[in-house]
Amino acid sequence: MAARVYLVSLLLPILAAVCLGCENPKVTPKVYSSTDATIVELVAFVGEFEVLCSDGDKNFPLFATLNDEVVPVTRTSDISKYIVSWAEEPSNAKSGSQVLRFFDEAGFGVFRKAQRAGEDVSKISPLFSVPLQLERAYKGPWVRSEFLAFAISVIIFYIAYSTKSHIMS
Amino acid sequence: MRLVWALGSWLVLACLSLADDVSPARLLVAKRLLNNMLVEGKDLLVQYGLYNVGGQAGLDVRLIDLGFPPDDFEHVVGEHSVRFTAWMWPSTLKAAFSGGNVTYNVVVRPRSYGYYNFTAAQVTYLPTEESTQIQVGYSSHPGQYGILSSKDYERRYSPHVMDWGAFALMCIPTLAIPYLLFYKSASKYQALMKHSKRQ
């Protein structure tokens, strides 16, 4: 009897861990990335993710990775949304197609273990992934419009002056 | 043998007392504005950096910033009241968070221009796993910044493409009309010269 109780007590945390996982998550993302880098030192990415599990579970931690690097996840005070954000130099900012991978506690444990062991972490299946299409932020015009206007006026003056010299000669 | 036992027990006690001496979590919070220039109606990036200089992980870390009232700032993305899930993290990650740092970003847009005093955000956390008393702290205080009006910003920094286009259009008659007159008379004289050469 005592052995059975002991076995059940051993199995309970495992069962709890299995039951606590989020099943069939439905994700509603709201994503922002800086498009104008003319007035900022760093460009930012902020993503708000509302996650609904089929079992209605809301209180579970999530961990996010981008390019196999861990990015911090925060939650709103009412725990309704998960927020992922980072800021980086405009010249080094991530752009193009990126995939933000979200793990639950168990999945993230496996990810960290594989990372420590130097294994390929891209094969670890996440709880869900969010594809991102990040555009490069606008850093201002290549040439200042004043300079362009000056250059065009110099060219026009040169053409006019050379034509005049040609006629006079 | 007794001496070895005594030394061993002293070492164990010393280790235990050292383990007890691990300082509680101590969070330093920096609130930074990531803009070079603050402009009315343009994105203002606010970054909060949380640095744990204590010996243990900070638990149930919450950040509240009431410095962006909706009358003065339009909320774009990110929340002003968030919680960091360090207390939920696995032990390996807890260790990483203790002594590590976390950043969090929010984007707002100023609704008006003029000087604005950016105040500190408040952070609350449990400094140890056993503690029940919430530790309250405040972030750094960015201070007073001038917010440029969108009209002033456009006048000073925009490429003025429309203005230069209008200027070019206005320049065209003053250049084109004399050139056309010259071209007409020049072609007339060239035709006359060719005609006289043939004769």
CA distance A76 to chain B (A): 4
At residue B4, the pLDDT reads 53
The lowest-confidence range among A14-28, A106-120, B98-112, B163-177 is A14-28
| CA–CA dist A91, B141 (Å, integer) | 28
Q: Which residues contact B109 (CB under 8 A, 6 or more apart)?
A: B41, B42, B43, B44, B73, B74, B76
Contact of B28 with B61, CB cutoff 8 Å: no
Q: Which residue of A lies nearest to B106 if distances are taken between CA atoms?
A: A46
CA distance A42 to chain B (A): 6
Residue window 77-106, chain A: list those with CB within 8 Å of chain B. 77, 79, 81, 83, 85-87, 105
At residue B2, the pLDDT reads 52
Strands, E assignment, B85-159: 101-110, 114-118, 122-126, 135-138, 143-148
- Are A41 and B164 within 8 A, CB to CB? no
Domain definitions of chain B by residue range: 27-149, 159-198
Higher pLDDT, B5 or B133: B133
At residue A11, the pLDDT reads 42
| CA–CA dist B69, A15 (Å, integer) | 46
Interface pTM, i.e. ipTM: 0.76
The lowest-confidence range among A83-92, A112-121, B81-90, B159-168 is B81-90
Residues of chain B with Cβ-Cβ distance to A39 below 8 Å are: 35-39, 42-43
B11 pLDDT above the threshold of 70: no
Compute the average pLDDT of residues A56-80.
Answer: 84
Residues of chain A with Cβ-Cβ distance to B38 below 8 Å are: 39
pLDDT-derived band at B140 (thresholds 50, 70, 90) equals very high
Compute the average pLDDT of residues A119-144.
Answer: 87
Higher pLDDT, B63 or B5: B63
Please provide the average confidence, as pLDDT, over all residues in chain B.
82
At residue B17, the pLDDT reads 45
A133 pLDDT above the threshold of 90: no
Is residue A154 packed enough to be buried (19+ CB in 10 Å), middle (13-18) or exposed (0-12)? exposed
DSSP B71: T
Contact of B88 with B61, CB cutoff 8 Å: no
Asked if the C-beta of A72 comes within 8 angstroms of chain B's C-beta atoms, the answer is: yes
Q: How confident is the model over B82-94, as pLDDT tens digits?
A: 988 644 343 444 5
| CA–CA dist B126, B135 (Å, integer) | 6
Contact of B107 with A32, CB cutoff 8 Å: yes
Of A39, A76, A156, the CB nearest to B35: A39
Q: How confident is the model over A31-49, as pLDDT tens digits?
A: 999 988 888 999 999 999 9
What is residue B99's three-state secondary structure? Answer: coil
Buried (b) or exposed (e) across A72-107, using 16+ Cβ within 10 A?
bbbbbeeeebbbbbbbeebeebeeeeeebbbbbbeb
Cα–Cα distances in angstroms (integers) from residue B124 to residues A10, B134, B139, in the given order = 36, 6, 11
At residue B21, the pLDDT reads 54
Residue B43: closest CA among A49, A84, A82, A42: A42
- Are B104 and A156 within 8 A, CB to CB? no
Q: Which residue of B lies nearest to A70 if distances are taken between CA atoms?
A: B93
Q: Which residue of B lies nearest to A76 if distances are taken between CA atoms?
A: B82
Architecture of domain B27-149: Sandwich (2.60)
B108 pLDDT above the threshold of 90: yes
At residue B133, the pLDDT reads 92
B99 pLDDT above the threshold of 70: no
A108 pLDDT above the threshold of 70: yes
- Are B36 and A48 within 8 A, CB to CB? no
Residues of chain B with Cβ-Cβ distance to A109 below 8 Å are: 90, 92
